[in-house]
Amino acid sequence: MMKDALTRMNQAQRDRLAFIDLQLRFFGEIRRRDLISRFDIQVAAATRDLALYRELAAKNLDYDTKGKVYRYGKWFTPLFDFPPDRVLTWLTRGYGDGYPDQIHSFIPTDSSGPKHTVNLDTLSAITRAINQQRVVEISYHSLTSGQSTRQFVPFALSDNGFRWYARGFDRKRQKFLDFVLTRIATAEIIEGNVLEKERPQQDNQWNRIVELELVPHPANIQHPDTIEVDFGMTDGVLKLDVRAALVGYLLRRWNVDCSADHNMRGMEYHLWLKNRPALYGVENINLAPGYE
């Protein structure tokens, strides 16, 4: 019945309803101005869209008269079934919203990587907590300690090329950490204030920017100009500004030789880190190939 109602609508209206669905689910709130800004529509049109959404899914939203905002409903059930990778694209790159039945590729496309298996209900709790600066209680599978329950204050998502992480303050270990999204079994927003020490401004690794200088590997590459073109280098050097919290992931993903004398052998090592002293104080440097 619900599917039929959505099918009978025009594409533009389905897109706007999908946007409302996504905003509520992953940010925990939506205002008329969000629709007006995103779709360049009039106030009356935004009001009608919100009324229609409420007609279709009354339990999905509650109106906060004081804040003049629609809030995530306790009994929320999504109207649209989006694939996790598209949701992550929308959350982190600001596009990819719209009615999910319209997903298609203009040219043959495939990927050798695994599909995201992130649970969207879990992701929803994490992103609402980020948006609203709240605390979540998570059940997490760790390689070192198995499954445990802990309180977590997330503030950002990151992608290392292989998997997605939530960055935030772990109250169990009393430090800022990355949690692999696929290892979070459950997540629920709980009552309680976020302490000053748990806020993103206190995360030194996240706020510190490290400048990396990458060059073609001096021993493994016979034609360094190929690597220079491949990575868009200037004068034989690629300079990257990277958050310290993400440095180890990038160096590992790109197989950057971080040894002092570029002694890593193998054609997978196309790059060498020229300015090793820049890594001083980076906490996840253990991920960097060849660094001692």
DSSP the chain: -HHHHHHHS-HHHHHHHHHHHHHHHHHSEE-HHHHHHHHT--HHHHHHHHHHHHHH-GGGEEEETTTTEEEE-TT---SS---HHHHHHHHHHS---S-GGG---SS----SSPPP---HHHHHHHHHHHHHT-EEEEEEEETTTEEEEEEEEEEEEEE-SS-EEEEEEETTTTEEEEEEGGGEEEEEEES-PPPGGGSGGG-HHHH-EEEEEEEE-TTT-S-HHHHHHHTT-BTTBEEEEEEHHHHHHHHHHTTEE-STT----STT--EEES-GGGGTT-TTGGGSTT--
Query: Mapped to the 3 state alphabet, what secondary structure does 98-167 carry?
Result: CCHHHCCCCCCCCCCCCCCCCCHHHHHHHHHHHHHCCEEEEEEEECCCEEEEEEEEEEEEEECCCCEEEE
Average pLDDT over residues 86-98: 75
CATH for the stretch 2-81: 1.10.10.1470
Note the pLDDT tens digit of each residue in 257-279. Answer: 999 999 999 999 999 999 999 99
In the predicted structure, residue 106 carries a pLDDT above the cut 80: no
Handedness of CA 285, 136, 78, 41 (dihedral sign): negative
CATH match for 120-202 among 1.20.120, 2.30.30, 3.40.50, 1.10.10: 2.30.30
Q: Alpha-carbon distance 218 to 171, whole Å?
A: 44
> What pLDDT was estimated at residue 206?
98
Q: What is the pTM of this model?
A: 0.84
- Which residue from 57, 115, 61 is spatially nearest to 88, judged by alpha carbons? 115
Domain ranges of the chain: 2-81, 120-202, 208-287
pLDDT score for 243:
97
Q: Is the pLDDT of residue 105 over 70?
A: no
Q: In this predicted structure, what is the pLDDT of residue 286?
A: 92
Indicate the pLDDT class of residue 93, thresholds 50, 70 and 90.
confident
Per-residue pLDDT tens over the stretch 226-257: 999 999 999 999 999 999 999 999 999 999 99
Residue 108: which pLDDT band, with cuts at 50, 70 and 90?
Answer: confident
Structure confidence at residue 107 as a pLDDT band (50, 70, 90) = low
31, 101, 105, 128, 243 from 25: Cα distances, Å? 13, 19, 26, 7, 29
The whole-number pLDDT of residue 292 equals: 86
Report the percentage of the chain scoring pLDDT > 70. Answer: 92
- In this prediction, residue 173 carries a pLDDT of 96
Does the pLDDT value for residue 84 go beyond 90?
Answer: no
- Packing angle, helices 11-27 and 32-39, rounded to 10: 130
Q: Give pLDDT tens digits for 152-185.
A: 999 999 988 888 999 999 999 999 999 999 999 9
